[in-house]
Copies of this chain bind each other. A is one copy, B any other.
């Protein structure tokens, strides 16, 4: 009994030629939990707007942000019956939720979702390279670079105004994503500001990238 949503909502994936309208729209507020690690895994989600973090914990409370999901990314599927991480919206987020049973009625969707997962696995590899082999400045720069690429304005504007970002992670969350302490993230951000790479706004999360070239170089 899936109530066909007749709105302009995009299906769980934009499979060309088969405009299947699958899934139910949902909205999450800031820091709202989508699912908890260990909960029975029932749905697959696709982010339409916003950011979701997947977190895992060690017994002693240490945390790792295991994936940062941006619009277009999917999550929720689990091989075992339970979610292997906790999903939390880092900012107000729109997404689509669909059950596997529902999805499997659209056979061509499998390939599209597979390709998306492949892309996310690639992103995960790049992130592992950063965490495993780059120093603190490199890791922070890699994260900022990723957000900067989302908001990149025309080249002309970039030169004058820089790239204005809103990073929806606290320093602690950045650290837990990058395998660093929050203090180290702070120090690196301050250092980048001193070097003219960026400017830290007064409001939490606001950053202006002043020298994207240098940032990008640090991230490699």
Minimal Cβ-Cβ distance residue in B for A103? B111
Residues of B within 8 A of A122 (CB): 78-79, 84
Copy number in this complex? 2
Asked, given contacts A64-B132, A133-B64, whether A79 binds B119 with beta carbons under 8 Å apart, the answer is yes
Minimum CB–CB distance for A83 against chain B, Å = 10
- B-facing residues in A166-220 (Cβ within 8 Å): 176, 178-179, 220
Asked, given contacts A77-B115, A118-B77, A133-B179, whether A64 binds B110 with beta carbons under 8 Å apart, the answer is no
A62 within 8 A of B: yes
A8 within 8 A of B: no
Q: A129 to B64, Cβ gap below 8 A? A: yes
A48 within 8 A of B: no
A residues with a Cβ closer than 8 A to B are 1-3, 54, 56, 58-59, 62-64, 66-67, 77-80, 84-85, 104, 107-111, 113-115, 117-122, 124-129, 131-134, 176, 178-179, 220
